[in-house]
């Protein structure tokens, strides 16, 4: 019964969060991605390299938007499932507790990995994908564990929480040999850098909004549909 409740709560929360996130993304984030893609697709002058066959991708316009909406919902659902499971494991919930969980998750899943690997726009030269994914996973896991230790463990162990928070940054994020943009035109690089800075700001706000809604709504719904019902499903 916990699984069913958690799944339903996560679906409701993900619907609300992905709706608001998608609206924000549509107006303030996607235009930056599309603008950067124009530079990415521009072939350098003088190059006549034959491009390999491209794999399927959604057509621009409505098709691409629908896939993004779907991906936003699934990503919100995954985040909600993880947050709700952790919150229910720790005991009773409330909107306020949910907000605290949501902000801790925002720090773990966005701020901490973003310190080493800032959000990227298309067209950037970046380090090897597998290395970046490994560092991202390591950072998110260690930051989450570190914050959990700081919040829940006895004072004696809290130092370990700080060490876990710092560890991924001491190891260091993978960096590319050529960092930034390799576009041949300096004006394009200036434009891309401007777009990139806007992109970092807008994604930071969009993800804060996402976690704010996931945190508050899962906290509220867990309190309403899990805390007030006894484990055997008998109303107390």
Q: How far is the CB of 215 from other proteins (least distance, A)?
A: 15
Q: For other proteins, what does the binding mask look like between residues 14 and 53, x meaning CB under 8 A? A: -------x---x---xx--x--------------------
Length of the chain: 236
Residue 89 interacts with other proteins (CB under 8 A): yes or no: yes
Question: Tokens representing 189?
Answer: 């690089």
Query: Quick one: 158 or 169, whose CB is closer to other proteins?
Result: 169
Residue 7 interacts with other proteins (CB under 8 A): yes or no: yes
Residue 210 interacts with other proteins (CB under 8 A): yes or no: yes
C-alpha span between 66 and 62 (Å, rounded): 6
DSSP class of residue 25? I
C-alpha span between 86 and 81 (Å, rounded): 9
Q: Which residue's entry shows tokens 């907000």?
A: 99
C-alpha span between 54 and 129 (Å, rounded): 19
DSSP class of residue 7? H
Q: How far is the CB of 216 from other proteins (least distance, A)?
A: 18
Stretch that binds other proteins, among 2-10, 44-52, 142-150, 180-188 (CB under 8 A): 2-10
Answer for which of 58, 159, 180, 184 binds other proteins (CB under 8 A) is 58
Q: What are phi and psi of 65, to 5 degrees?
A: -65, -40
Q: Are 102 and 216 in contact (CB under 8 A)?
A: yes
Answer for which of 11, 15, 126, 191 binds other proteins (CB under 8 A) is 126
Residue 169 interacts with other proteins (CB under 8 A): yes or no: no
How far, rounded to the nearest angstrom, does the alpha carbon of residue 101 sit from its chain's CA centroid? 15
Question: Tokens representing 3?
Answer: 């699984």
Q: Which residues bind other proteins (CB under 8 A)?
A: 1-3, 6-7, 10, 21, 25, 29-30, 33, 55-58, 64, 67-68, 70-72, 74-75, 77-82, 84-86, 88-89, 109-110, 113-114, 117-122, 126, 129, 132-133, 136, 203, 206-207, 210, 231-232
């Amino acid at each position: 019964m916990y699984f069913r409740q958690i799944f339903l709560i996560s679906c409701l929360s993900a619907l609300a969060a992905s709706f608001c996130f998608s609206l924000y993304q549509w107006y303030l984030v996607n235009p930056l991605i599309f603008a950067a893609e124009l530079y990415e697709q521009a072939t350098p002058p003088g190059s006549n390299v034959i491009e390999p066959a491209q794999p399927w991708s959604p057509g621009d316009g409505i098709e691409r938007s629908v896939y993004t909406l779907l991906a936003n919902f699934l990503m919100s659902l995954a985040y909600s499932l993880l947050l709700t499971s952790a919150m229910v494991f720790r005991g009773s919930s409330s909107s306020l507790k949910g907000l605290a969980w949501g902000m801790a998750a925002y720090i773990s899943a966005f701020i901490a990995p973003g310190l080493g690997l800032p959000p990227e726009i298309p067209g950037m030269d970046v380090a090897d994908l597998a290395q970046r994914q490994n560092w991202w996973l390591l950072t998110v896991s260690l930051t989450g564990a570190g914050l959990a230790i700081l919040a829940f463990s006895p004072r004696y162990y809290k130092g370990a929480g700080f060490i876990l928070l710092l560890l991924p940054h001491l190891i260091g994020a993978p960096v590319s040999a050529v960092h930034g943009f390799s576009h041949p035109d300096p004006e394009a690089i200036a434009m891309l850098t401007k777009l990139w800075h806007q992109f970092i700001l807008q994604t930071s706000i969009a993800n804060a909004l996402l976690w704010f809604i996931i945190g508050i709504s899962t906290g509220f719904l867990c309190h309403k549909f899990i805390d007030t019902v006894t484990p055997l499903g008998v109303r107390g």
